């Protein structure tokens, strides 16, 4: 079942364990689960939608935002830490990412605004006004 956002992922997330058909503990199997990255919140502000994406540690010059029809595409790259020593545990995402977020309505691309502060990308997505639509 697809959620409110149409999510397309390139990176795999955590493992989710399910019990086997028999329901006993011997039939437990783990399957990869893709988690959306970056995590986002979408707010309806009547005239526009507000999309907030958590991007801690991502440099502003590596972030790309594209609007196509009723979708927003976020791309970027989070560089890994340059520490000397063996990694004992690694949970923080690093590397390139891409997420397609289906908004479900047309966005006025000419009036989109966005800014990045404190690891949060904020995107204002103005709705297409009815008088902006043209018939060919």
Q: Is the pLDDT of residue 106 over 60?
A: yes
Share the mean pLDDT of the chain.
Answer: 78
The residue whose two tokens read 């149409």 is: 6
Q: Per-residue pLDDT averaged across 1-5, rounded?
A: 34
The tens digit of pLDDT for each residue in 19-46 reads 444 444 555 656 556 678 899 999 999 8
If one counts every other C-beta atom within 10 angstroms of the C-beta of residue 87, the result is: 8
Q: Select from 67, 52, 53, 69 the least CA-distant residue to 104.
A: 69
Model confidence at 3, pLDDT cuts 50, 70, 90, reads: very low
Give the pLDDT confidence of 71-103 residue by residue, as tens digits: 999 999 988 877 778 888 877 788 899 999 999
Q: Give the whole-number percent of the chain exceeding pLDDT 90.
A: 48
Q: What distances in angstroms separate CA 9 from CA 34, 52, 79, one per listed residue?
A: 7, 18, 18
CATH of domain 36-132: 2.60.40.790
Query: pTM of the predicted model, to two decimals?
Result: 0.68
In this prediction, what percent of the chain has a pLDDT beyond 70? 71
Q: How far is C-alpha 88 from the geometric centre of its chain's CA atoms?
A: 27
Whether residue 8 has pLDDT greater than 60: no
Mean pLDDT of all residues in 50-68: 93
Q: How far apart are CA 55 and CA 36, in angstroms?
A: 12
Q: Report the distance separating Cα 127 and Cα 14, nearest Å.
A: 35
* Sequence spans of domains, the chain: 36-132
Long-range contacts of 126-130 (CB under 8 A, 24+ apart): 126/47, 126/48, 127/47, 127/48, 127/49
């Amino acid at each position: 079942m697809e959620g409110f956002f149409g999510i397309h992922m390139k990176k795999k997330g955590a493992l989710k364990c399910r019990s086997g058909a028999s329901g006993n503990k011997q039939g437990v199997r783990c399957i990869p689960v893709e988690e959306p990255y970056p995590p986002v919140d979408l707010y309806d502000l009547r005239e526009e939608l507000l999309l907030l994406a958590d991007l801690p540690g991502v440099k502003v010059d590596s972030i790309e935002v594209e609007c196509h029809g009723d979708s927003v595409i976020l791309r970027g790259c989070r560089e890994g830490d340059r520490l000397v020593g063996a990694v004992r545990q690694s949970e923080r995402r690093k590397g390139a990412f891409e997420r397609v977020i289906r908004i479900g309505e047309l966005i006025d691309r000419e009036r989109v605004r966005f800014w990045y502060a404190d690891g949060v990308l904020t995107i204002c997505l103005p709705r297409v006004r009815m008088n902006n639509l043209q018939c060919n």
